[in-house]
Amino acid sequence: MDWYLGNYWYLLLLLLLPLLAVFMVSYLKWKKKKRAVFADSKFHEGLFEKKSWFTKFFPTLYLLGTLFLIFSIIDLLNGSEEVKTNQKLNNVIFMMDVSNSMNAEDIEPSRLTEAKNLMINTMQKMKNDKVGIVIFAGEATSIMPLTTDYGSAETYINAIETNSMQIQGTDFQKAMQAAVSKFKNVGKGSRKIVLLSDGEDNEGKDDAAIRLANKEGIMVTSVGIGTEEGAPVPEYVFGQLMGYKSDAAGQTVISKRQTEALTKIAESTGGSYIDGNNINEAPNRIIDALSKKQSSATTLVKSQNANHYYQYFLAVSIFFFFLIYLINPKRNFNV
């Protein structure tokens, strides 16, 4: 349990205590002076009621009652409590291929756009899962850490382009290494990857990626995007179509989806391969795949201002004032 002060500005009420003390002392002096003016001290015993023992304690009781009343107004002690709860949740990194072949338009409007829409639609079906984003081609980088802020994630996704990576290719190992670095503080039972790629231009490092995933306890759900028939790969310069990718002989290159590596990575890590060409069905299938081997993670939830204790101070204040009333011989405050 952590403790901290409540309403700081109400501390100014504590200034009332010395003012009240000065007032009470001044009143008692004034009362004594008036008695002296009224009659000589030797006549006081006959003229005035004898002082009770209560008179000595009244100022202290009154000040203590007021002090605890101020404490209750300030809400002197607030509690913030860390509560451990078991929740079924995943930590999911979307690992997205941004090689040039993802510009192919065999899936309208393009493979890249299809992959981005799949990511957004899948996140919209998530609840408590944390999501992160890694993009890769011949190199890889994380563009968003693990978070539950799906709105921010959509902003990151919309900004993804194939020119985000200078080195081209499809290096699954480097992509996996980038993802692993984001899983440092995540339990192995809840590490999940959704790999979105056309599988083409694979650099043959899928075995290394599989070994690393298994070592780190990562389950991969791979999503293949593109068709077996394929399509030319458009080449853009500053957003303008300049032509289509060609080989050394000048022939237009036809990019085709290649599922062998994608299926191998998924099955070897306990995941599933999913056809990502159907935007209506694929998100639900991805969610179902992520639900497999879902771990029960213990999460610390810190609730601010969850506990207030002003009522205890108020109770003590009421006790002191009730005591003043109870033991005051005159049943009033004119003593």
Long-range contacts of 6-11 (CB under 8 A, 24+ apart): 6/74, 6/75, 6/76, 6/77, 6/78, 6/308, 6/310, 7/73, 7/74, 7/75, 10/70, 10/73, 10/74, 10/75, 11/74
Q: Which two tokens stand for residue 219?
A: 């389950």
In a domain, 333, yes or no: no
Please check whether residue 261 lies inside any domain of the structure. yes
Confidence of residue 39 (pLDDT cuts 50, 70, 90): low
What predicted TM-score, i.e. pTM, was given to this entire model?
0.64
Q: Are strands 296-308 and 78-88 parallel, antiparallel or unpaired?
A: antiparallel
207 within a domain of the structure (yes/no) = yes
Whether residues 216 and 116 share a domain: the answer is yes
Q: What share of the chain is helix, strand, coil (3-state, %, to 5)?
A: 45, 25, 30
Distance CA 333, CA 130 (A): 64
Domain with 200, as residue range(s), is: 90-294
CATH number for position 153: 3.40.50.410
Given this model, what pLDDT does residue 266 score? 96
CA distance 205 to 266: 14
Quick one: tokens of 45?
A: 């015993």
What confidence tens digit (pLDDT) does each residue in 45-70 have? 555 555 555 566 677 777 788 777 87
User: Is there a single domain that holds both residue 216 and residue 136?
Assistant: yes
Residue 13 and residue 118 in one domain: no
| Residue 103 located in a structural domain | yes
Q: Do residues 73 and 206 both lie within one domain?
A: no
pLDDT digits (tens, 9 = 90+) for 242-256: 888 888 888 998 999
Residues 172-231 pLDDT 10s: 999 999 999 999 888 887 899 999 999 987 778 899 999 999 999 999 999 999 999 999
Give me the number of domains the chain comprises. 2
Six-digit token string for 72: 């209750």
Which residue's structure tokens are 């291929």?
Answer: 97
The answer on 101 and 75 residing in a single domain is no
Q: What are phi and psi of 108, to 5 degrees?
A: -75, 140
Is the domain of 253 the same as that of 118? Answer: yes
Domain assignment present for residue 332? The answer is: no
pLDDT at residue number 321 = 82
Which range among 136-140, 300-304, 305-309 shows the weakest confidence by mean pLDDT? 300-304
- pLDDT tens-digit readout, 80-122: 555 555 566 789 999 999 999 999 999 999 999 999 999 999 9
Distance CA 183, CA 132 (A): 10
If asked whether residues 39 and 145 sit together in one domain, one would say no
Same domain, 70 and 157: no
Residues 72 and 196 in one domain: no
Please give the angle made by the CA atoms of 243, 247 and 252, to the nearest 5 degrees: 45
